[in-house]
Amino acid sequence: MLRRKLEGILFRSLICSILISGQAGRQSQSGILTLINPSGNLLEPFPAYVLPIMPNVTSEKKIQPWLEVGYELFTTYGLEGLKVEKMANIIGKSRSSFYHHFADIEIFTEMLLQVHTERSALIAEREQACETLVPDLIEVLVAFKKDLLFSRQLRVHRHIKAFRRCFESVNEKVGGAFFEVWARDLGLSEEKQIAEGLLDLIMDNFYLQITEENLNAAWLTEYVNGIKSFASQIQHPGVRQE
């Protein structure tokens, strides 16, 4: 019964029910995040836009700055931001230095995707420790703001096969990590298929909505509360939400 109600309502009501205007203020640019290494020990906090050194990807100090700047530029401008000359000017290196390390922009882009995949594992690890959507999950999303915006660019450019594969892989990993708390907080623990379908729709909508300006705790809280209200209306039709 609930399944049929969801199927009948979702596509007509989802957008108007959960789209949030995003009037909240800007997030501070000095956000700090704390990471956990594989042994479970806390690592030193570092600015959210700085990438950790990943095994087999950024182990050489000379390569790391290129990947950090490339990650930031792709996050902000998408493919249009990945200009060798622009990155070289920011880093203070020559164009020839880039080609010495990466040979061409295609190889460099593949390495950025690998870095993003590695960072998604960190996000999933943090998400698995969440007990609630608000504020636990929101705190993780804010801490990994740049990575979410990187995924948004992957979605924008999903016509490129490698980008689409990376986006889908990261989404599956990140979404799966907080699924149990998602289902429980929405009151759908006994309706896992519905919770999964709703999560898929919401995640796609989420990447359409987020921007550098609105991806902060206030906007995310409003967004999640809108989803909770929508889920409640599905389960209890006719009950007015405050």
Please report which confidence band the pLDDT of residue 235 belongs to, taking 50, 70 and 90 as the band edges.
confident
Total structural domains in the chain? 1
Residue 118 within any structural domain of the chain: yes
Give the list of residues 6+ apart from residue 174 with CB closer than 8 angstroms, or none.
120, 123, 124, 127
Average pLDDT, the chain: 80
Residue 50 within any structural domain of the chain: no
pLDDT at 202 exceeding the cut of 60: yes
Residue 80 within any structural domain of the chain: no
Residue 91 within any structural domain of the chain: no
Q: Which pLDDT belongs to residue 60?
A: 66
Please report which confidence band the pLDDT of residue 186 belongs to, taking 50, 70 and 90 as the band edges.
very high
Range of the domain at 135: 2-14+105-235
Residue 23 within any structural domain of the chain: no
